[in-house]
Amino acid sequence: MFWYDTTIILLIPAIIITIIAQIHVKSTFQKYSRVNSLRGYTGGMLAREILDKNGLYHIRVEHTQGHLTDHYDPRAQVIRLSDSVYNSTSVASLGVAAHEVGHAIQYKEDYMPIRIRQAVIPVTQIGSQLAFPLTIFGLIFSWDPLIWIGILLFIAVVFFQLVTLPVEFNASGRALRTLEGDGILGDTELEGAKKVLRAAAMTYVAALITALANLARLLALANRRER
């Protein structure tokens, strides 16, 4: 029966990994948000300086509400930094701010993985919303094409999560090289920023694992139908 879905067990390891990753990033950020940088940059100031050094004068830096809601919006060409980053001088906030600027530089340099990720976003949005309903309806009505349309849509979601990894790791690498190369953070401070960005990167690894687990669920359901 569809309501007795034993495939849910495939999600348990992914859920555990995701919880651990979320706890780790929050605790690591909190720890290094109490360590102030010696040069006194705020996240907003640092983002503006790195942008200008890379000729990205047209990209705005704005304050946005929330905690760790920092992101670069390529359409609006604005970097939005959260409450805990924009006005903070902590090692953690500088790492996050530099990371978001890293995304803006990726677009400037036409970094291929971020262009690919941007291109698949529309399909990903459709897939994340419709993949499971289409698959379930296909199973209920015994219509195999609908099942496989749902699975193919979710494969796009998995691909998005996969291509996100090099994008995020590359942005963090750019951030750390800038913080070190420009002498913005000392060795001890830089180590703290590295730990924050590594912890954040693990949340994207967890997201990929979760997507793979859900894809495995869909394939298991389709296999059950074939039997």
Could you list the pLDDT tens digit for every one of the 227 residues in the chain? Answer: 444 567 788 899 999 999 999 999 999 999 999 999 999 899 999 999 999 999 999 999 999 998 889 999 999 999 999 999 999 999 999 999 999 999 999 999 999 999 999 999 999 999 889 988 998 888 888 888 899 999 999 999 999 999 999 999 999 999 999 999 988 999 899 999 999 999 999 999 999 999 999 999 889 888 876 55
Q: Which of 156, 129, 134, 157 is nearest to 147 (CA)?
A: 134
- Are the C-beta atoms of 154 and 214 separated by less than 8 Å? yes
What is the Cα–Cα distance from 135 to 149, expressed in whole angstroms? Answer: 8
Phi/psi region, residue 180 (left: phi>0; alpha: psi -120 to 50; beta: rest), is alpha
DSSP β-ladder status, 60-63 and 78-81: parallel
Neighbouring residues of 169: CB distance < 8 A, sequence distance ≥ 6: 201
Residue found by looking up tokens 């074939």 in the block? 226
What amino acid is encoded at 27 in this protein? S
What is the Cα–Cα distance from 112 to 129, expressed in whole angstroms? Answer: 26
Strand partners, 60: 78
* Residues labelled as active-site residues: 100
Axis-axis angle for helices 187-226, 144-181 (nearest 10): 170
Backbone angles phi, psi at 180, to 5 degrees: -85, -50
Neighbouring residues of 74: CB distance < 8 A, sequence distance ≥ 6: 103, 104, 107, 118
User: Please, what's the largest Cα pairwise distance for the chain?
Assistant: 65
What is the Cα–Cα distance from 114 to 96, expressed in whole angstroms? Answer: 18
pTM of the full predicted structure?
0.88
- Are the C-beta atoms of 220 and 10 separated by less than 8 Å? yes
